[in-house]
Structure formats: C-alpha cells, structure tokens
Chains A and B, each alone.
Chain A
Amino acid sequence: MGSKNTTEMKEKKESNKAATSTASATSAKTQYIAKDFQEAYTTSMKSYWDQIASNNKLKLIDLFCAFLVVVGIIQFAFVCLIRDNYPFNAFLAGFIICVGQFVLLISLRLQLLNPFEGIPKNRAFGEFVLASLILHFICIHFIN
C-alpha cells in the first residue's frame, strides 16, 4: 500500500529509467525487466482503482493527496524559477506542511484500510485531526 498518486508517477519514472539504464545491456534482458515493470504497474493500478471505487472516503483522501502534491510542486518550482529563497522559513513551512499533511493522510488511509488493533477508525480519525492541528499550528508559527 502507499501513496497512490505519486506512486504511479514514481513507478512510471522508475520503469522508464530502468529501461534506459539497462539499454546498454542485453536487449532481451531489458525487455524482460521492462515487461515485469509493465506488469507490476498494471496490476497495482488495477487493484488501486478497485480499491477506491468501493470506498468514497479513500477517493476523498486521495484527491486531497493529489492536491497537496500539486501545491508542493508548484512551490518548489516557484523557488527554483525565481532562483532565490529569501524568506526561506516561509517556503520551508509551506513545503513541509504539504509533505506533512500528505504523510498524515496516508497514515490515516492505512488505518482506514486495515485498522490497527486497539485503535478503532473513529479514534484514528480523531488522532489524525489532532496531529494535523499541531502541524498547522507549528507551520503557521514558522511562516511568521
């Protein structure tokens, strides 16, 4: 299990890279590995779509995740473009809050899929809200 949206991107990248990096090697082997990656990719994708099709909550979480990834990338690209990170703490806070919220969402998602023993889903959600609040509080303080 894991971060689906980035997951897909990462996997694509990896398979591409794998394909190119081993291009110099025997082509048969390359083909073989590339095929494996292809298969891994399709199976994961398929089970992923199955997973969210049956659960609206997961869909919501994943949308939020995708949004966070986009926001994070925009911030990063912005800093790269203006080639200056002067209010470094502000950028950092903005970026970290994206990453942090993303990670927390994934944590919640994991718990919704297979609840850990002793932690019912509702409690997991409550804890998630609390941790998010702490995170936001600190980051807002950090932005100045």
Chain B
Amino acid sequence: MSIFGAAVSARLFSVIRFESIIHEFDPWFNFRATKYLINNSFYDFLNWFDDRTWYPLGRVTGGTLYPGLMTTSALIWHTLRKIGLPIDIRNICVLFAPAFSGVTAIATYYLTKEIKDSSAGVLAAAFIAIVPGYISRSVAGAYDNEAIAITLLMVTFMFWIKGQKTGSILYSSFAALFYFYMVSAWGGYVFITNLIPFHIFLLILMGRFTSKLYVAYNTWFIIGTVASMQIPFVGFLPIRSNDHMAALGVFGLLQIVALGDFVKSKLPPRKFKIVMIVSLLIILAIGIAGLFLLTYMGLIAPWTGRFYSLWDTSYAKIHIPIIASVSEHQPVAWPAFFFDTHFLIWLFPAGVFLLFMDLKDEHVFIIAYSVLCSYFAGVMVRLMLTLTPVICITAAVALSKVFDVYLDFSSAIDPQRRNLTSLLSRLIVSGTFIFYLYLFVFHCTWVTQTAYSSPSVVLPSTSPDGSMALIDDFREAYYWLRMNTDEDAKVAAWWDYGYQIGGMADRTTLVDNNTWNNTHIAIVGKAMASPEEKAYEILKEHDVDYVLVIFGGLIGFGGDDLNKFLWMIRISEGIWPDEIKERDFFTPEGEYRVDSRASKTMKESIMYKMSFKDFPILFNGGQAVDKVRQQAISLEDVGTLDYFDEVFTSENWMVRIYQLKEDDPEGRSLKEVGDFERAKGKLTKKRKITKPDLTLRV
C-alpha cells in the first residue's frame, strides 16, 4: 500500500513544479481523442473520421488508433460522475499514468512472488515504483499509451506465469483477456505475442513439455488471438502478418508435440525415436514450404519496417527516413542504462544468473524476457521501457537472495554458535546493500524531479536572480492561433507539432505525429526547403493559411526546426530526388551552416528565411548570434520575404507564425510587389515587439 503511495507521489513532481497539464506531443492527441469520446458515443468514436488533421486527406482516426487508453479514462470519468464526483477530464488524463503505475507495482509484486517469494516481490514492487526508466513515461501528464501498457504487460505476464504453473484454464483466460486489453492499448503488444510462444518453444526444446503447458498456451492463444482481432486497427493482422506467425507456429507445434507425447507413452523409446525423426522432418519441410508459398503469394504480409529496424539497426536509416527521424527510435546510449536504473543494472545479470541456478519453467520465461529485451533496448530507446520491469524483477530476486543469507541473524543471537566474523560479515554486507538502496532512492527522486518532470510544452529556466522562470512560448503561440485566426484556418508546421496544434490551438493541420502518410509529410518538408515562390505555390495548393516554425536561436532551444531541417530535406528527397538534394544544403566543405557561409539553396529556403527574419535587427547592430548553432548571422544573409507576412512571434521568439499573402489585386506576382515597394523605400519595418530579455537562457 505504501509502495502504491510512493509510486503515485513520485510522479506528481511535475504537477507540483509546473501545473496540471498534458505533456509532450502524443498525449495531446490522446487527450483530444478522449474529449471526443466523452462527448460522443462509443460507436461515433470508433467511426470517427477526423477532417481537422492531414488536410486535405483527413484521417480515419477511429480505425487507426489503439482505443484502450481513451476508453479506460472515459470509463473512469463516467463512473466518477455516476457516484457524484464530477471531475474535469483533463485532471483524469493527467493523473492517469501515476494511478496506473501504482497498479503496475502491485502486479509486479505478484509476478515476482511467483518467481521467488514474497520478500522478492516487495522489493520488485518497490523498485518498479520508483525506477526512473519507468517514471520517464508515467509522470503525471504523460497521458500516453505506454502509461497503461506497462501495467497491462505486467498483469498479463503475471496471469501467464500463474496459468503456466498451474495449468489452469481460468488463469490463461485471464491472461488472454488482459492481452486483449493490451492489444487495445499499445502497438507493443507484439512483444507479448512473440515472447510467450518463445517461452513455450524453449520449454519444448528443453524437453519440459507437460500437458499443463498445452492447456495454458492453447487457451491463451485461441482466446487472445480472436479477441485481438476485434480491435479495428489490428484487424486481420494476427493471421496475416509475419509478426504473429511465431505464435501460430508454436500453436501448431504444440498440437504435434502433444500427439507425440501420447504416442511416446505407448511405444518403446527406440522405436519412437525413429518415428519421431521421420515425421518431424516431413512436417518441417511442409511447414517451411508453406510459409514461403504463402508469403510469395502475398497472403502473409512481409515484416514491417519497424521490425526490420530491430534486427538491422541501419535499416531504417537507409530505407525509411521518417522512422529514423524520431529520436525514440535511435539506439540507446550506455550511460542511459545507469541513469534510468541506477544500481539495479548491475544486479540484473546477477539476478539472471541466480535464476539459471534453479531453472524452473517460470524462470525460463524471465530469462527469455531479459535476454530479448536487453537486445531490443540496445536498438531502440523507447524499448528501454519494456526492459525496466524485468530489470526490477531480477534485481529484486538477486537482492532478496542476498538478504536471505545475510540478514539472517539467528545464528548470531544463538549464544552457543556465536561467531564474531560471521556476524561482522553479515553486518557489513547487509549494511552495504541497505546503503545502496538508500542511494537508489535518492537518485530516483533526483532524476524524477530534474529530468523527467518537465512537460516539454513549458520549459523551465532560471532567471538572472536564480529563481525559476518558465518559458511558455508554445502555449502563448497556440493561444494566439486559437484567438486570432479563422476557425477553419489551415496551419502548416512540421509534423512534431501537429498534435499540439490540434489539441491546444484547435486548428486544422496538414501533418501530425501519426505519420501515416509519408508523402504528405514530404510535401510539407519540400515546402519548407523550397525557395519562396515555389513554397508559396505548394502551400497555396494545399489551402494553407499559416505557416508555423519553431526557432530556438534566441534562447538556445536545441530542438527547433532548423535542427530538424535535415530530416525534412531527407524525407522529401526520398520522394522527389530531382528537386530536393541534401547536398545542396551543405556548404562546399560539407558543413551544415546557417551563417554567411551557408549555401545558396539553404539561404533561399523559406525555413531559413522564416527562422531568421529580422533576427539580426534585434541585436541593434551588434553581432547576432544563433545560440543553438553558435554562428553569427548578419543582416545581408537573411533574404527578403515577399510572399509571407509575419503575424506573430512569441516572447522568446520560439514560435513564429507567418501568414500567406493574398494575391496582388493588380495581377503582379508578389515578388514584383515586394521589389516595387522596396524601390519606393516604403517597406518600413513594422516590427514593434519589445526586445526580449536576452539573459534568459535554458
């Protein structure tokens, strides 16, 4: 219970330090979808066609999302209302992740209890409650699929272990039902789909087949598969895609093995061996041929890109730039392991070793889990999240084993067998580990409050007198959009900001974080990388009214659009290799520069112009330095912008919004208008925004 409390309260740092607000990018979409769900019926939600994103295509939202998260929170909302507690849906969404992490701790306790004993369970629950690797995705406000998915992952595994241990149909059915819930909540369900068959497969190879396994796996598989097909987004994938074939294969294998088991019990061993080998060879040949044939005939979809990138880390980089452009899909850096799990990371191998020592069926499961996950976490940062629970479990097993031996002071109390050295060693060892535990708690608290509690929408910084200041440019800009633009205005921005614009500004976007249509994203990238006339043409074709760019050069915000610019170029180069060339944006020396030495193509792109428009003027003749790239920008570098009007720039210049100009009534091109006006000397600078406080830095 107290662990539940700790798990929840540790995640509330963000609310205390900032406010009750949804974080990041994806949660904004989930939040918007939840609002839609509680205002409409469930069937409306499943058939929801969203015409406010992916303009002009729209998005079949109901069929392309995992509805578990939204349904759960809507359910909570309705229940609370029924019992007379009307709570704002935003608060439910914000506090959703902490509440569910409490449930995770409980599930982890029961899972570890099945693995070792209840003392290990308590330790594991305590670890998972405060380990930073998990907190990073479940602080208050991180209203994302992962928040609920890890909970479901643990619950499913717990029921699976129980079912597999007892052979009970009931537990396996529960595992299947929670598997269904998991499928409805997160795309990572494929992990379970492969891990459980893998476990069974290992056990069969080790010659540990029992009828319990047969009962548990078949019940789970058949109910889980047919249930997972109920989710519109998953559909017929479980029988079509190769990701799910392992489960199907093991299902078939298990039938054969069960049959073999029966025959074996009736035959003398020697004869059985011959029969078995011959029939195995035949079945294997038929199976492989069948698989090839089906894939060849196109009945089974080939593996998806994300899956390939798991095996070949450079696959995505070569073939699908959009996957590689997401920082979550990058390999994890080694220090991150320590940062996220602290001293558990070196207890982890020890725990795995201890599990090897008495290798029971359920231990095989944990070992398979840890081996697979260690590899996957090395490939993709976001999979660190699935590794963290198993680290906690194995570390708890190791630690509780240590405590079992060294915290046992019964011999020391017994006067006949008193032994000073043994007492001393016990004290030292257990003292050391308790001290480590203390350090761990300290580390977790520190990491949580400094690193993982900031909602990336609002940035923390320190003002000159050392007090904390918040940079709130994003919300300022989105609020401006909401208040000052037409309700049907279309905003073009890079896809990272699509969900936020949809959620906070409530305006139609061209592309968003769903990234289902690579070409559409490439169009926006192309527009950003093109010179003015061409960009204007592209944007007009798509009815765009406003263009939004993120510029961090003034306050040193690293994640701005100029730094993401290379990805825009790469993605659009993938579609139009003739028109956009990555090489053109580098200096002849092959450097990515934005100052006077930047290439001509670079300077002509509207991304460059929009980011730096009027930037040098801000410094009153002094040297204008882009603080992100540490390069000086001079007045001559920044070309004129004739087709776009600057309509809004936020306080720290982080968000700049431009409007597309109307056609000239006299039929001239806008470039001619601009030249004409300049010649008349009438083009006075209209900027009147006060100079921001330059000492403000992140």
Residue B696, interface by CB 8 Å: no
B509 at the interface (CB under 8 A from A): no
Contacts known (A2-B262, A39-B271); A139 close to B226, Cβ less than 8 A: yes
Q: Report how far A22 CA is from B222 CA in the complex, Å.
A: 36
| Chain B, residue nearest A10 (CB) | B259
B278 CB contact (under 8 Å) in A18, A92, A130: A18
Q: Mark A103-144, 1 if CB is under 8 A from B, else 0.
A: 110111011001011110000100110110011001101100
Proximity bits, A39-51, B CB within 8 Å = 1, else 0:
1100110010000
CB within 8 Å of B: which A6-65 residues: 7, 10-11, 14, 17-18, 21-22, 33, 36-37, 39-40, 43-44, 47
What chain B residues lie within 8 Å of A138 (beta carbons)? 223, 226-227, 230
**Cβ of B236 < 8 Å from any Cβ of A?**
yes
Q: Which of A44, A93, A134 has a CB less than 8 Å from the CB of B173?
A: A134
User: Contact at B225–A96, with CB atoms within 8 Å?
Assistant: yes
* A103, B222: Cβ atoms closer than 8 Å: yes
Q: Given A1-B258, A40-B272, A127-B170, answer yes or no on A134-B214 (Cβ-Cβ < 8 Å).
A: no
Q: Within 8 Å CB of A114, what residues of B?
A: 211
Contact between B239 and A142, CB atoms less than 8 A apart: no
Which range holds the interface residue count of chain B? 35 or more
Cα–Cα, bound, A7→B258 (Å): 10
A62-96 contact mask (Cβ, 8 Å, vs B): 1 or 0? 00000000000000000000000000110011001
Given contacts A128-B169, A135-B226, A138-B226, contact A110 B211 (CB under 8 A): yes
Residues A107 and B215 in contact in the complex (CB < 8 Å), given A33-B278, A127-B173? yes
- Shortest A129–chain B CB gap in Å is 9
For B215, the chain A residues whose CB sits under 8 A away are 107, 110-111
Besides A116-B211, A130-B173, 11 other A-B contacts (C-beta < 8 A): A2-B258, A18-B278, A36-B271, A107-B214, A110-B211, A111-B167, A119-B166, A130-B170, A131-B223, A134-B177, A138-B223
Does B417 sit within 8 A of A, measured CB to CB?
A: no
Question: Which B residue sits closest to A34, measured CB to CB?
Answer: B278
User: Please, what's the 1-or-0 string for B201-215, where 1 marks a CB less than 8 Å from any CB in chain A?
Assistant: 000000000011011
User: Nearest chain A CB to B571's CB is how many angstroms away?
Assistant: 35
Within 8 A of A (CB), among B138-181: 166-170, 172-173, 176-177
Question: Which B505-546 residues have C-beta < 8 A from chain A?
Answer: none
Least CB distance from B249 to A in Å reads 15
Given A96-B222, A142-B226, A142-B229: A104 and B169 interface contact (C-beta under 8 Å)? yes
Contact, CB under 8 Å: A2 / B279: no
Contact B274 A43 (CB under 8 A): no
Q: Say yes or no: A107-B266 contact (C-beta < 8 A), given A134-B173, A138-B223.
A: no
Cross-chain contact B259 with A2 (CB below 8 angstroms) = yes
Instruction: Tell me which residues across on chain A come within 8 A of B214, comparing CB atoms.
Output: 106-107, 110
Does B282 interact with chain A (Cβ within 8 Å)? yes
Q: Please tell me if the beta carbons of B222 and A99 are within 8 angstroms of each other in the complex.
A: yes
Give A47 to B266 CA distance when docked, in angstroms.
Answer: 8
Q: Which of A10, A17, A131 has the most CB of B within 10 A?
A: A131
Docked Cα-Cα span, A109 to B136, in Å, equals 47
Chain B nearest CB: distance from A42 CB in Å?
10
Contact indicator B274/A92 (Cβ below 8 Å): no
Q: Which of B228-277 contact A (CB under 8 A)?
A: 229-230, 236, 239, 255, 258-263, 265-267, 271-272, 274-275
A17 CA to B230 CA in the complex, in Å?
39
Bitwise interface map of B from 265 to 297 toward A, beta carbon under 8 Å scored 1, else 0 = 111000110110011001000000000000000
Chain A interface (Cβ within 8 Å of chain B)? Answer: 1-3, 7, 10-11, 14, 17-18, 21-22, 33, 36-37, 39-40, 43-44, 47, 88-89, 92-93, 96-97, 99-100, 103-104, 106-108, 110-111, 114, 116-119, 124, 127-128, 130-131, 134-135, 138-139, 141-142
Give B260's nearest chain A residue, CB to CB: A2
In this assembly, does B218 line the interface, its C-beta being within 8 Å of a C-beta of chain A? yes
Chain A: minimal CB distance from B150 (Å): 25
A/B interface sample: 10 pairs, CB < 8 A = A14-B279, A17-B282, A33-B274, A39-B267, A89-B236, A116-B167, A116-B168, A117-B166, A119-B166, A130-B173
Which residues on the A side are within 8 Å of B262 (C-beta)?
Answer: 1-2, 7, 44
A119 touches B219 (CB 8 A): no
CA gap between A85 and B169 in the complex, in Å: 32
Contact in complex: A14, B282 (CB < 8 Å) = yes
Q: A40-B272, A92-B236, A96-B222 are in contact. Are A1 and B211 (CB under 8 A)?
A: yes
Residues of B within 8 A of A134 (CB): 173, 176-177, 223
Per the bound structure, the CA–CA distance linking A110 and B168 in Å amounts to 12
Q: Which residues of B contact A139 (CB under 8 A)?
A: 226
Residue contact B170 to A3, C-beta cutoff 8 Å: no
Q: Which of A96, A107, A118 is the most central at the interface, judged by chain B CB atoms within 10 Å of its CB?
A: A107
- Cα–Cα distance between A127 and B266 once the two chains are bound (Å): 29
Residues of B within 8 A of A97 (CB): 226
B263 touches A92 (CB 8 A): no
Is there an interface contact between B169 and A131, defined as CB atoms closer than 8 Å?
yes
Residues of chain A within 8 A (CB-CB) of B278 are 18, 22, 33
Q: Are A40 and B218 in contact (CB under 8 A)?
A: no
Q: How far is the CA of A138 from the CA of B169 in the complex (A)?
A: 17
Determine how close the nearest CB of chain B comes to the CB of A125; give it in whole angstroms. Answer: 10
Compute how far the CA of A96 lies from the CA of B222 in the bound complex, rounded to whole angstroms: 8
**Identity of the chain A residue whose Cβ is nearest the Cβ of B279 in the assembled complex:** A14
Closest-by-CB residue of A relative to B176 is A134
Cβ–Cβ contact A18 & B219, under 8 A: no
- In the A-B complex, list the 8 residue pairs whose CB atoms are closest, starting with the nearest: A2-B259, A100-B222, A127-B169, A1-B262, A107-B215, A2-B258, A127-B170, A103-B218
Q: Are A40 and B267 in contact (CB under 8 A)?
A: yes
Establish whether residues B267 and A100, one from each chain, have CB atoms under 8 Å apart when the complex forms.
Answer: no
Residue of B nearest to A113 (CB): B211
In the complex, the answer to whether A135 meets B223 with C-beta atoms within 8 Å is: yes
Which residues of B lie under 8 Å from residue A89 when comparing CB positions? 229, 236
With a cutoff of 8 Å between Cβ atoms, the chain A residues found around residue B266 in the complex are 40, 43-44, 47
A124 to B262, CA, bound (A): 21
Known A40-B275, A107-B218, A107-B219; judge A7-B267 contact (CB<8 A): no
Q: Of all chain B residues, which has the CB nearest A116?
A: B167
CB distance from B428 to the nearest CB of A (A): 42
Residue pair B274, A2 in contact (C-beta under 8 Å): no
Q: Residues of A contacting B177 with CB < 8 Å?
A: 134
Q: Which residues of A contact B173 (CB under 8 A)?
A: 127, 130-131, 134
A10–B261 Cα distance when bound, in Å, is 14
